[in-house]
Amino acid sequence: MISLVARNTDFVVVDKPAGLNFHSEDSEGLVVLVKQQLAVESLYPVHRLDKMTSGLVVFALNKPTAQQFQTLFAERQIEKFYLAISNHKPKKKQGWVKGDMVAARRGSWMLSKTQTNPAITQFISALIRPSERLFLLKPTTGKTHQLRVMMKSLSAPICGDARYADSEQAKQEDRGYLHAFAIRFELKGQSYEFVCPPKSGQRYLDPLCTALIDTWAKPWPFFKA
């Protein structure tokens, strides 16, 4: 069963498990599973998460609402916040990361110094323990692999990320440590805020880490334009 966070007549918010494909590949993906679970004829994805990423996903339940969400995303009217953990020291502990995403080998991406159509992310971080740091990430844009590439560009690849971190070290992790933590938007004149802490991963569930996550339970005030 996929955990339901919220549902109304226009949309549903779910908590995607880590390691589950968004679309069906070798087995049924998140879209199919949610559609079956809700017993609805139509389900409209308005954004997506990578297989390794857990957390909040919004699906529209009708086409007009899906179109409204598309407009909100295009106009950057939806705020999203992610949690990531790295066991490497970052080049900087907070601030902005901006740069064009350039295709690399085997489906990977890399961050360029150019800014023609840049991926933009703001972030803060806190030390969990020596050599382990928790990051709160707020992407302004929604590029493929944006946060994973951004973390690598900081010399702090995400723990368990087999594509952008050391593949042998990634195999030792119980999951990829990227989680869609919170989302905030206004739809049809009503404001919505959803926050969902991670429910899996030894690093996330460590008491030192959960204590830090609790301090970010309302993430919006930590970021200024």
At 225 the pLDDT is 62
| Range with the poorest average pLDDT among 18-27, 67-76, 149-158 | 18-27
CB atoms within 10 A of CB 156: 23
Marked catalytic residue, from 10, 15, 26, 50: 50
**Segment 19-37 mean pLDDT:** 93
Judge whether 15 counts as a catalytic residue: no
Please write the tens of the pLDDT for every residue from 89-125: 999 999 999 999 999 888 899 999 999 999 999 999 9
Q: Is 168 helix (H, G, I), strand (E, B) or coil?
A: helix
Which pLDDT value is given to residue 44? 97
Confidence of residue 54 (pLDDT cuts 50, 70, 90): very high
| Separation CA 62–CA 59 (nearest Å) | 9
Q: 186-221, pLDDT tens digit by residue?
A: 999 999 999 999 999 999 999 999 999 999 999 999
